[in-house]
Amino acid sequence: MTGSPPIVGAVEAGGTKFVCAVGRGPGAAMLAREQFATGDDPAKVLGQVTAWLAAQEARHGSLAAVGVASFGPVCLDRQSPAYGRITTTPKPGWRDADIVGAMRRAFPGRPVGFDTDVNGAALGEHRWGAARGVDDFVYLTVGTGIGGGAMANGRLVHGLLHPEMGHMPVAPAAGDGFAGACAIHGRCWEGLCAGPAIAARAGMPAELVPADHPAWDAVLGAMSNALAAITCVLSPRRIVLGGSVRRAGTLGEAEFFARLRAGTQRALAGYLDTPALREPGIAEFIVPPALGDDAGVCGAMALAQDAAAGR
């Protein structure tokens, strides 16, 4: 990309809040930022979002495009009448919500970029963050739920629908008898390791779970198995892991990552023989997001930039 990128609008559409921004990139290039509760009425929050973006446009200048990185599942098939909509979510009020349509109506003639929240965050980390210069990598978020986005050969992976890594079956840690917290699958990865699963295991919110609580052994064991599985399937050159669970309460983020790296090495058992998976390379293989909690909204900005450029 040459010259200064245009000003775009960005929306990280999350299950609990919509984070909006206007600008050219992260940090000082982000000119304004706001957030609204997702709630159970799509028309209400989409109205708040588009009104806010229009007000920023009046202040900062015309938006070249709008990008949305959305919770899902979403339809990404441009040939489908459902393109740009949330599809089968159990979230009250949100089934079939037309996200892209709302943006097109509010900003006629402007391109609208659209992808999953995690694919968006992956694109943001690729452009400005922990995956710069890495064209094959995975972005994971572990928080209220678990999601994964992937880039292969410099392109975001869509495929049949889009990756739903959080709901893959994962081997639990040895001796883990927890029944699982996913309403659909019980003991899928999200059912074993997301925030609600940790809270159910420990009987307290994940951020309060003490460092020596056995819940962490079970969670980090299954997480390590999941990262090993992803490494075997997609052969990523890096795994960027965001979301609130990585802060890991009193265990702390540094210890969480150290144990996750060691656990992933154990799960792979030396079979994938490459420096990235040994010491000290492993510390650059499993990393936190460089954009921190802005990965999602920056990703939406990157989606908008790509839409403005006709990509």
Q: How far is the CB of 226 from Zn ion (least distance, A)?
A: 12
Interaction residues for Zn ion, span 61-80 (CB under 5 A): none
Tell whether residue 185 is a contact of Zn ion (CB under 5 A): yes
The CA-based angle 273-277-280, given to 5 degrees, is 120
Q: How far is the CB of 183 from Zn ion (least distance, A)?
A: 8
The piece of 85-93, 162-170, 248-256, 272-280 that touches Zn ion (CB under 5 A) is 162-170
Tell whether residue 188 is a contact of Zn ion (CB under 5 A): yes
The piece of 44-52, 77-85, 175-183, 240-248 that touches Zn ion (CB under 5 A) is 175-183
74, two tokens: 């979403």
- Residue closer to Zn ion, measured from CB, 1 or 184: 184
Strand partners, 85: 98
Q: How far is the CB of 140 from Zn ion (least distance, A)?
A: 15
The piece of 34-42, 66-74, 153-161, 190-198 that touches Zn ion (CB under 5 A) is 190-198
Identify the residue among 20, 53, 123, 182 touching Zn ion (CB under 5 A): 182
> What are the angstrom distances between the C-alpha of 66 and each of 10, 131, 144, 180?
6, 23, 26, 38
- Residue closer to Zn ion, measured from CB, 33 or 185: 185
Give the burial class of 3: count Cβ atoms within 10 A of its Cβ; 0-12 exposed, 13-18 middle, 19 or more buried: exposed
Q: How far is the CB of 222 from Zn ion (least distance, A)?
A: 13
Q: How far is the CB of 148 from Zn ion (least distance, A)?
A: 13
Q: How far is the CB of 194 from Zn ion (least distance, A)?
A: 9
Among residues 211, 209, 245, the alpha carbon closest in space to that of 226 is found at 245
The piece of 67-75, 178-186, 225-233, 279-287 that touches Zn ion (CB under 5 A) is 178-186
Q: How far is the CB of 145 from Zn ion (least distance, A)?
A: 9
Rounded CA-CA distance 21/44 in Å is 18
The piece of 43-51, 111-119, 182-190, 252-260 that touches Zn ion (CB under 5 A) is 182-190
- Residue closer to Zn ion, measured from CB, 169 or 281: 169
Residue 266's SS3 state is helix
Tell whether residue 197 is a contact of Zn ion (CB under 5 A): no
The piece of 23-31, 42-50, 122-130, 177-185 that touches Zn ion (CB under 5 A) is 177-185
- Residue closer to Zn ion, measured from CB, 193 or 298: 193
* Cα dihedral across residues 44, 310, 128, 241: positive or negative: positive
Residue 116's SS3 state is strand
For 195, phi then psi, to 5°, come to -50, -50
Rounded CA-CA distance 74/96 in Å is 9
287, two tokens: 């990393």
Q: How far is the CB of 180 from Zn ion (least distance, A)?
A: 8
Rounded CA-CA distance 287/304 in Å is 26
164, two tokens: 């739903």
Strand partners, 69: 12, 115
Tell whether residue 146 is a contact of Zn ion (CB under 5 A): no
Tell whether residue 167 is a contact of Zn ion (CB under 5 A): yes
Among residues 240, 236, 249, 230, the alpha carbon closest in space to that of 189 is found at 230
Which residues here bind Zn ion, judged by CB under 5 A? 167, 182, 184-185, 188, 190
